[in-house]
Structure 1
Amino acid sequence: MDLGLSGRTALVTGGSRGIGMAVARRFLREGAAVVICARDAGRLAQASARLIEETGGSVEAVPADVSHEGALDAVVERATERFGGVHILVNNAGRTSGSDPESFDAVDERLIVRDFEEKHLGYLRAARAVRPYMQSQGWGRIVNVTGMAARLAGPISAGARNAAVVHLTRSMAFALGRSGVTVNAVSPGITATERLDDLLGLDAQRRGVSPVQARADMEAQTALGKVVSTDEVADAIVFLCSELASGITGEHLAVSAGRGQGVHY
């Protein structure tokens, strides 16, 4: 199936590992050029080398902290110098929740501020940085990676930042839609990234069970009885960036193996 992405340029924030790296790899295999950014320059360089080796595609790696104002402008400038513009933005940078206490009594207010600076404002700044290029082209795709905490009571900071990103997504869709730009959000469920074992260990320690039991309990919360892979999340994101998804905008898609029994309509 041709997704119509050959010759496009995609910018993936948080692209040095996990979901971001899987998204970058999928774009490259579809014939797109990719710009990846992340805070850790060493890890970013390793990811870039690995992606080029695996796909033979064109990759530009730019160290950047999306929580810093102006950082994304520099990334977009580099992308334009190398590839002539940006057609696709995948906002993926942000901490993985689960390692910091986020209950009503325990959440640190500084964590909430950091989360909004990094994710909500970071995504907004990135979208504003690419907007002129997408509008001048009359075509663009933006996908904001959020999280299932937006639908679950409990994790105060993660829930608030993710719900805010869903609202931002819908607002951006109306702001940019008449320019040929679609904007959607994807919420991964529990995903088999490099950090999953660490998070399972923390959960097991808190609840006094084994990591094996902690994973089994997580999987039991899903309709498919499993955690999702980074490739499964990447496939959904890349589809939303394709020509085949031209009629989809302002929507929020969960890729979670059917986590939870709530009904959302």
Structure 2
Amino acid sequence: MDLNLKGKVAVVTGGSLGIGRAVTEALAAEGVRVAIVARSQGPLEAAAREIEAQTGVEILAVPADVSSTEQVESMMARVAEHFGRIDILVNGAAHPGGLVRTEIEHANPEGLLEDINIKVVGYMRCAKFASAYMKNNGFGRIINIGGLTGRGSKQLSGMRNVAICHLTKTLSDQLGPHGITVNVIHPGVVETPHIHELYAKEAKIQGLTPGEVEANYAKVTPIRRVLQPNEIADTVVFLASERAGAITGESIAIDGGITRGVFL
């Protein structure tokens, strides 16, 4: 299927690791020039070089902290100046799993504020400045990476994912007349470096081995396995394409069926 993505320009925050890196690789494979954004300059530049060598498409490393409005504005301006346009934004910069995963008596309010500042307000900052360039072209795609903790009550940090759904729907209303769609996806249990840290933590709590924790996740997932990062990336690439022009304001789980709720 021709997604008509060749020559477009994307900004991927959190683009050097895990799901963000898989998204960057998948977009580049379609001919999209990508600016990857993260705070750590060394790993960011190394990832850019590796992906560029792998795909033959230009990857620009732009260090920035999405909790800073000034840095986000400067980063978007640099990308637009370098590539001449911005067509796609994939918001993925966040603390994996959130900083507040404990009971209320142990919960750190400052950690929750940091979670929200980076993942909710950070997404808004990026959308604010990227959409200004998208409006000039009459085309844009914003894909927000949420999380399944927003659909349950296990973690206080999950409230950031609920807020992202509201942000997504609101922006889809505001930006739709300009040819810009906005959607949020909720990855399930995905094979990333972070997930192995989670297995280790859960193993200590449950008195199991990390391998047993992973097996238990797979056991309660209808497809009976953990997802791969490229499976998340494939959906992002489709939503970023012209073919997905009628999909906006939606909240889509890519979770192998682990979510048991019925969402209309």
* C-alpha RMSD of the superposition: 1.1
Could you list the runs of 5+ residues in structure 1 that have no partner in the other structure?
Answer: none
Contact 1:98/1:199 (<8 A) preserved: no
CA distance in 2, matches of 1:99, 1:227: 23
Q: In structure 2, how many angstroms separate the alpha carbons of the residues matched to 1:193 and 1:115?
A: 20
Q: Distance in 2 between matches of 1:220 and 1:103?
A: 26
Kindly state the Cα deviation for residue 261 of structure 1 after the two structures are TM-superposed. 1.9
Check the 8 A contact 2:16/2:37 in 1, yes or no.
Answer: yes
1:134 aligned partner, one-letter code: M
Residue 156 (structure 1) aligns with: 156
Aligned to 1:238: 237
Structure 2 distance, partners of 1:206, 1:176, is 45
Q: Is 2:98–2:115's contact at 8 Å kept on the other side of the alignment?
A: no
2-side partners of 1:253 and 1:193: how far apart? 20
Aligned to 1:120: 120
After superposition, residues 96-175 of structure 1 pair within 5 angstroms as 96-97=96-97, 101-157=101-157, 159-175=158-174
Deviation at 1:227, TM superposition (A): 1.3
3-state DSSP of counterpart to 2:193: coil
Letter aligned with residue 28 of structure 2? L
CA distance in 1 between counterparts of 2:19 and 2:260 reads 25
Equivalent residue number for residue 221 of structure 1:
220
Structure 1 residues 101, 211: closer, same or farther in 2, change over 3 A? same
Query: Which aligned pairs between 1:1-265 and structure 2 lie closer than 5 A?
Result: 1-97=1-97, 101-157=101-157, 159-265=158-264
| Amino acid in the other structure paired with 1:116 | I
Further displaced range: 68-77 or 35-44:
68-77
Normalising by structure 1, we get a TM-score of 0.97
TM superposition shift of 1:99: 7.0
Moved over 6 A (4+): none
TM-score, structure 2 as length reference: 0.97
Matched residues in 1 for 2:119 and 2:75: separation? Answer: 17
Distance in 1 (CA, whole Å) between partners of 2:173 and 2:13 is 23
* Contact in 2 for aligned 1:223/1:259 (Cα 8 Å): yes
Q: 2:14·2:20 contact (CA, 8 Å) conserved in 1?
A: yes
> 1:32-67 CA deviation, whole Å, 9 max, x = no partner?
100000011111011001101111111110111101
Question: Comparing 183-192 with 101-110, which one deviates more in the overlay?
Answer: 101-110
Moved more, 98-107 or 61-70: 98-107
1:239 Cα deviation from its structure 2 partner: 0.5
Are 1:23 and 1:237, in contact at CA under 8 Å, matched by a contact in 2?
Answer: yes
C-alpha distance in structure 2 between counterparts of 1:66 and 1:118, whole Å: 6
Letter in 2 for 1:153: S
Offset at residue 98 of structure 1 (A): 6.4
Cα distance change on mapping 1:99 and 1:206 into 2, 3 Å: farther
Task: Summarize the Cα distance change of 1:70–1:98 in structure 2 as closer, same or farther, 3 Å threshold.
Answer: closer
Moved more, 241-250 or 67-76: 67-76
- Matching residue's letter, 1:195: H
Tell whether the 8 Å contact from 1:11 to 1:34 is kept in structure 2 after alignment: yes
Distance, in Å, in 1 between the alignment partners of 2:142 and 2:22 is 17
- Give % identity: 38
How many residues are aligned here?
264
Following TM superposition, by how much is the alpha carbon of 1:100 offset from its aligned partner in structure 2, in angstroms?
Answer: 5.2
Assess if the C-alpha contact under 8 Å between 2:38 and 2:44 holds in 1: yes
Distance in 2 between residues matched to 1:16 and 1:127, nearest whole Å: 19
- Secondary structure of the corresponding residue to residue 16 of structure 1: coil
Q: Distance in 1 between matches of 2:198 and 2:27?
A: 28
